[in-house]
Structure 1
Amino acid sequence: MQKLATLFTQSYQEIKQLRTVTICGLMAAIAIALSAFTSIEIGNYIKIGFSGIPNRIVDCLFGPVVGGCFGGALDIIKYLVKPTGVFFPGFTFDAILAGLIFGSFMYKKPLSLPRILIAKLTVVLVCNIFFNTLWISLLYGKAFMALLPARLLKNAVMWPIDSLILFMVIQMLHASGIFKIIRHERP
């Protein structure tokens, strides 16, 4: 528990840095551009999108506090820039929670595919399958259990794909030295 409190305290300190705010602004711009132009649709229900990658990069670089704030703010900004469907605060809550979860798993921790798989699985189970299904059920008046099988299948298919894409992108950024530059670490 002490480690988690320290993690959140260190992440909270990050949010006070101008460099953090600047990088978050750049990542938000990249996320908005990616959401507008890039996605691969497989059938009616499966879509491989890349706009979540900047969120996860922020989570890795700056931790759960910054990741949660960034996720919530970006969810609202994306809706204002390109509204799709109705705005529902539950989805913003999910974006905040995903940032908190992923930041807790990845901030100041060694990069590994198993760590990303576990972090992504936690986000998938808590945010995507439970909460998102609940919000969709509430919004559209459909039974939670009726929505659940299709959402389980979709997330089971996308979990390893999204995790692998994220791992490759973060590994490439680590290898190129960009993370060290952002964190002001010596090579």
Structure 2
Amino acid sequence: MKEIGLKDRFKGEKLSSPKTLTGVAMLVALYTILSFFTLNISATAKIGFAYLALGVCGMMFGPIAGGIAGAAGDVLGYFVNPNGPFFPGFTISAFIMGFLFGIVLYKKPITIKRTMIAVLVVMVVCNTVLTPIWLNLMYGSSLIALPRIIRNILLYPVNVALMHIVLKGVHSFRKSIA
């Protein structure tokens, strides 16, 4: 596979093309729908699925499209099903999540190692660093949330497995119709 430069990695697919707009719009809708479905493991631990749509968007269309999909999906999800007050910090986190998936996955072979890196970077940056900051700004909660760190460690293999299965499936489907 041809190696692409850093400038091309950030650029991604042309955002104004009908193919890209349609694909990103469908993944925003999927992100919004998936955000309603979570498996509650305990009072503090739940498995969400919305990140899968952002991983696919980043892989297919690049970091900018992935970030835009994350931000648009977060805002759309709030209007469709508001859970508490709207806080733009979580929209920023959703943008960063899609952007990071695009940086790691766009135009690269889908390997378990690459999937592990993508999920790890997103979990550390968004779940472990940014979420406590947003919750502190909103509610004055602690910035060091040991239960959140433990939960992320426990959910990491599950998130990697789900993401890898989805990415491989989408990649195989794209190859079969090309």
TM-score, shorter chain, exceeding 0.5: yes
CA contact under 8 A between 2:27 and 2:69: conserved in structure 1? Answer: no
1:111-159 per-position Cα deviation (integer Å, ceiling 9, x unaligned): 01110111111111111101111111111112213xx201101111112
What amino acid is the match of 1:138? L
C-alpha deviation, 1:70, in angstroms = 1.0
CA contact under 8 A between 1:8 and 1:65: conserved in structure 2? Answer: yes
Please give the root-mean-square deviation of Cα atoms over the aligned residues, in Å.
1.6
CA distance in 1 between partners of 2:114 and 2:55 (Å):
13
Instruction: Give the equivalent residue in structure 2 for 1:166.
Output: 163
- 1:6-155 matches, within 5 Å, as 6-9=8-11, 11=12, 13-36=13-36, 38-145=37-144, 148-155=145-152
What amino acid is the match of 1:28? V
CA contact under 8 A between 1:61 and 1:179: conserved in structure 2? Answer: no
- Normalising to structure 1: TM-score of the pair? 0.87
CA contact under 8 A between 2:101 and 2:118: conserved in structure 1? Answer: yes
C-alpha deviation, 1:179, in angstroms = 5.5
Give the 3 Å change call, closer, same or farther, for CA 134–126 of structure 1 in structure 2.
Answer: same
CA distance in 1 between partners of 2:142 and 2:45 (Å):
21
Structure with greater contact order relative to length (CA < 8 Å, sep ≥ 6): 2
CA contact under 8 A between 1:120 and 1:159: conserved in structure 2? Answer: yes
1:162-181 per-position Cα deviation (integer Å, ceiling 9, x unaligned): 11101011112222x23664
CA distance in 1 between partners of 2:133 and 2:46 (Å):
20
CA contact under 8 A between 2:29 and 2:73: conserved in structure 1? Answer: no
Give the gaps of 5 or more residues in structure 1: none
**Secondary structure, counterpart of 1:14 in structure 2:** coil
Instruction: Give the equivalent residue in structure 1 for 2:7.
Output: 5
- Normalising to structure 2: TM-score of the pair? 0.91
CA contact under 8 A between 2:28 and 2:72: conserved in structure 1? Answer: no
User: Percent of pairs identical after alignment?
Assistant: 32
